[in-house]
A and B are shown apart, each in its own frame.
Chain A
Amino acid sequence: MERWTTTIEPPRGWAFFPLREVWAYRELLYFLVWRDVKLRYKQTALGIVWVALQPIALALMFTIVFSRFLDAPSGGVPYSVFVLAGLVPWQLFAGALGRSSLSLVANEHLLTKIYFPRILIPLASVLTASVDMIFTLAVLGAVLAYYGIGVSAAVLILPLLIALVLIAAIGIGLLLAAINVRYRDIQAILPFLTQIWLFATPIAYSVTLVPDNWRAVYDLNPMVGIVEGFRWAIIGGDFPQALWPSAALIILLAVAGIVYFRRAERSFADIV
C-alpha cells in the first residue's frame, strides 16, 4: 500500500525558510510577480515612464534644495550623480518594503481560499519592486554618461549590494506584513516610517556631515552601509567600513523576519 503523501497536524516548534516548498511553487511565484508587473502598467498612459520619472523628480528636488540652497558637499562629483547613486538602492528598498508589508492583507482572498507557502506573497512583491530598479539604474547610467563619468571595476560589487537590499527588504517586510495581518496599524505607520528612514539614510547628504558622537546610533540603520557601498561602487573613494556591520545587521534582521513570519503564518487565514 502506498504511503500517505500529506499529513496535516497542529504545528509545533519553529520553522525557517521553506526552501523546498518555495521551489515546488516557483511557478506560482512567477505568476504572482507577472500579475503585479502587468497590473502596474495596465490603464496608465505613461506606463513604465513613471518608474523612471520618480527618481528623476526626487533627484531634481534634492539637487535644488540641498545643492543649490544649502550647498551640501557631494564628494567631488556632480550632486545629481551623488544623490542618484543613493536613490537607486533607496528606491528599491522603500518600494520593496512598502509592497511587501502590505502584501498579505492585499492578498487576503488568496490566503483564505487556497494553500501555498505564505512566504510567496511578500517574496513576490519584493521581486516585483526589483523590476523597477532596472529603470532607476538606467536613469543613473544616463546621468553618468551625460557627465562623462566612467565606472571602475568596483561596480561589479553591485549585484551583491542589490542582493543585500532585497534581503533587508524581505526581512523587515516579512515582519511588518505578518504584524499587519493582526494589527492594521502598520498601514498607518508605514508612510512616515519610510520618510523618517529616508532622512536617517545618507542619500541627500554625505555621511561625513553626521557628527562622530552620533555615528554609533546612526550606523544602526543598515541602509547606511548599503548606500555608502553603492556610492563607492559607482563614484569611487574610500571603501565604506560601515558596510560590514550593515550586512551583519541585515542578515540578522532577515533571520528574525523569517522566523517570526513562519510562526505567525499559522494564524493568517484565521485572523486576516
Chain B
Amino acid sequence: MSAPVLRASGLSKRYQLGEHGRGTSLGRSLARMLGSSGDEARDNVFWALRDVSFDIHEGEVVGLIGRNGAGKSTLLKVLSRITHPTEGRAQIRGRVGSLLEVGTGFHPELTGRENIQLNGAILGMRRQELQRKFAEIVEFAEIEQFIDTPVKRYSSGMYVRLAFAVAAHLEPEVLLVDEVLSVGDVAFQRKCLGKIEEVAHEQRTVLFVSHQIDSIQQLCQRVLLLRGGRVQAFGPTQDVIAAYLSDAATSADGDFDLWDHPTRAGHHTPVIRRLRLCADDGSMTTRYGPYDPMVAEILVEPPHTLRDPIIGLGISDHFGRRIFTVASFFEPEGLEPISGLSRIRCRIPELRLGSGRYLVSVSVQDRYHGEFDGLENVAEFEVYWQNSYGTGEPFRPVFGPVLSKSRWERLEP
C-alpha cells in the first residue's frame, strides 16, 4: 500500500458547554465571574473527539460514518484547520480542499458568474485555474442561460447545482467532504457521486461523510466509524457498515422512537414519530419466523394534511442492501388522507426471509406536496430459521435472502 497522505495521531477536541458559548453577553459573563459557579463551569466540558488515530493512503476513498454528535463534522473541521485540536496531531501531505457545505460564501445579490469567482476563491482555487475551468463548471451546473442572473432568482435546484459544480472542480490532493450530497435531486446526486469517483481515479484522496449508506458503499473502500468522539471501527466498508447499522437499530422490544432519531438527515421536518414491529396478534417483537406475518405500526404527525400519503417500508439486509419494499401506493386501495397525529398499520402477510438480521427503513411523503420524511435502516429484527420439515438442516446464505413457498410433486413421464 502507498504512503499515508493523512495521519491522525491522538486527535482530541474539547468544547466548553453551557452559556459561555455562542454570542454570549458581557454582563452574563461578568455575573458568572463574580458568582460562585466557577467550578461548575469548568466541569462542564464535552469531548467531541477523543484520541482519534488513523492513516489514510493515497488514492483511497474513505467514508466517515456515525450517529449525529459522534464527531464526524468536528473531525472534518479539525482536518480542514477551521478549528484547532485540543490535543494530538494531524499531518497531511499535499493541498487540502474541504467542502463542508455547498455554496459557502454564495451571495444572493451576486450573479452566477460572480458567485463562481467568489466561491472559487473561497475554496482556494487560483484565478487562472478558475478561468480554465469556468466553461466546464457552467456546463456541469446546467445554468448557461442564467449565468448573468443574480442567484436569488435561481430555483433551489439551480443554486445547489451551481454551488456543487464549483466545488466539484477543485483539484486538491486531499478532499474532505461533509454531507453535501443529500441536497439536490437524485439525478444530480448521481452526477456528483460520479464526479467524486472520477476524483478518486486520479489518485486523489477523499474523506467523506454521508448518512446514505448506499453512496458510502458505492464509493468507499474503507469506512471510519466514530462513536462518542472515538474511533469505533476502521476497516473494509462492508464490515464497518454492518456493525454500524446493527448498532443504530437495536431495540429489545420492537418499539423504536424515531422522533429525534440521529440519522435523520438535517433538512427533513420530522414527521415519523415512532415505529413498532409487532407479531400478528399485535404484541411487539423483533423475532420472526421465516413465513411469519409482520405488522408494523407507524406513528406519524405531519405538519399539514397529507392528501395522498405515500408510506413505505423497506427491508434491507445487514449490509444495507434492500431486499424488498412495501408501500401504500403499491396497493390499489392506497391510504386515506392523514392529518394530525395518526397511527398507520401495515401488515405484511408473509416475510419470506432467510434467517439473519434485517433492517427496516421507513418513509412518509405526500404525492402532491412532496412533504417528506425518511429514515434509513432504523429498526432491526431477526428472522430465525425454522425448517418446516423438522430435518434440522441449517439455513445457508447460498440459499439467498428470499424464500418462496413451493409445491413439489412427481409427474408421470
Q: Is the Cβ of A5 less than 8 Å from the Cβ of B93?
A: yes
Q: Is the Cβ of B105 less than 8 Å from the Cβ of A114?
A: yes
Q: Is the Cβ of A115 less than 8 Å from the Cβ of B107?
A: no
Identity of the chain A residue whose Cβ is nearest the Cβ of B96 in the assembled complex: A6
With A and B bound together, what is the CA distance between A47 and B70 in angstroms? 49
Q: Is the Cβ of A1 less than 8 Å from the Cβ of B3?
A: yes
Q: Is the Cβ of A110 less than 8 Å from the Cβ of B122?
A: yes
Q: Is the Cβ of A112 less than 8 Å from the Cβ of B82?
A: yes
Tell which of B77, B117, B150 touches A269, judged by Cβ atoms closer than 8 Å: B77
Q: Is B21 an interface residue (CB 8 A)?
A: yes
Tell which of B92, B100, B122, B126 touches A4, judged by Cβ atoms closer than 8 Å: B92
B305 CB → nearest A CB, Å? 35
Identity of the chain B residue whose Cβ is nearest the Cβ of A35 in the assembled complex: B118
Q: Is the Cβ of A113 less than 8 Å from the Cβ of B82?
A: yes
A residues less than 8 Å from B117 (CB atoms): 31
Tell which of A6, A27, A113 touches B100, judged by Cβ atoms closer than 8 Å: A113
Tell which of A9, A42, A114 touches B85, judged by Cβ atoms closer than 8 Å: A9
Q: Is the Cβ of B104 less than 8 Å from the Cβ of A38?
A: no
Q: Is B101 an interface residue (CB 8 A)?
A: yes
Tell which of A35, A115, A116, A182 touches B110, judged by Cβ atoms closer than 8 Å: A35
B248 CB → nearest A CB, Å? 27
Interface residue ranges of A104-132 to B (CB < 8 Å): 105, 109-116
With A and B bound together, what is the CA distance between A43 and B150 in angstroms? 11
Q: Is the Cβ of A109 less than 8 Å from the Cβ of B25?
A: no
A residues less than 8 Å from B109 (CB atoms): 39, 42-43
Q: Is B193 an interface residue (CB 8 A)?
A: no
With A and B bound together, what is the CA distance between A113 and B163 in angstroms? 14
Q: Is A266 an interface residue (CB 8 A)?
A: yes
B9 CB → nearest A CB, Å? 10
B residues less than 8 Å from A116 (CB atoms): 122
A residues less than 8 Å from B255 (CB atoms): none
With A and B bound together, what is the CA distance between A3 and B91 in angstroms? 10
A residues less than 8 Å from B338 (CB atoms): none
Tell which of A5, A31, A35, A183 touches B25, judged by Cβ atoms closer than 8 Å: A183
With A and B bound together, what is the CA distance between A271 and B27 in angstroms? 17
Q: Is B86 an interface residue (CB 8 A)?
A: yes
Q: Is the Cβ of B121 less than 8 Å from the Cβ of A27?
A: yes
Of the candidates B25, B84, B109, the one having the most CB atoms from chain A within 10 angstroms of its own CB is B84
Q: Is the Cβ of B89 less than 8 Å from the Cβ of A269?
A: no
With A and B bound together, what is the CA distance between A42 and B114 in angstroms? 13
Tell which of A2, A109, A269 touches B104, judged by Cβ atoms closer than 8 Å: A109
Q: Is the Cβ of B91 less than 8 Å from the Cβ of A38?
A: no
Q: Is the Cβ of A184 less than 8 Å from the Cβ of B84?
A: no
Q: Is A241 an interface residue (CB 8 A)?
A: no
B residues less than 8 Å from A31 (CB atoms): 117-118, 121-122
Interface residue ranges of A250-272 to B (CB < 8 Å): 266, 269-272
B residues less than 8 Å from A11 (CB atoms): 84
Tell which of B26, B80, B107 touches A114, judged by Cβ atoms closer than 8 Å: B80
Q: Is A13 an interface residue (CB 8 A)?
A: no
Q: Is the Cβ of A110 less than 8 Å from the Cβ of B22?
A: no
Q: Is A185 an interface residue (CB 8 A)?
A: yes
With A and B bound together, what is the CA distance between A35 and B115 in angstroms? 9
Tell which of A7, A9, A109 touches B105, judged by Cβ atoms closer than 8 Å: A109
Interface residue ranges of B92-113 to A (CB < 8 Å): 92-96, 98, 100-101, 104-105, 107, 109-110
Identity of the chain A residue whose Cβ is nearest the Cβ of B13 in the assembled complex: A270
Q: Would you mind naming 22 contact pairs between A and B with Cβ atoms under 8 Å apart?
A: A2-B3, A4-B7, A4-B91, A4-B92, A6-B91, A6-B92, A27-B127, A30-B121, A38-B114, A39-B109, A39-B110, A109-B101, A112-B77, A113-B100, A114-B100, A114-B122, A114-B123, A115-B81, A115-B82, A183-B26, A269-B83, A270-B21
The 3 nearest A-B residue pairs measured at CB: A31-B121, A4-B91, A115-B81
Which residues of A line the B interface, CB within 8 A? 1-11, 27-28, 30-31, 34-35, 38-39, 42-43, 105, 109-116, 182-185, 266, 269-272
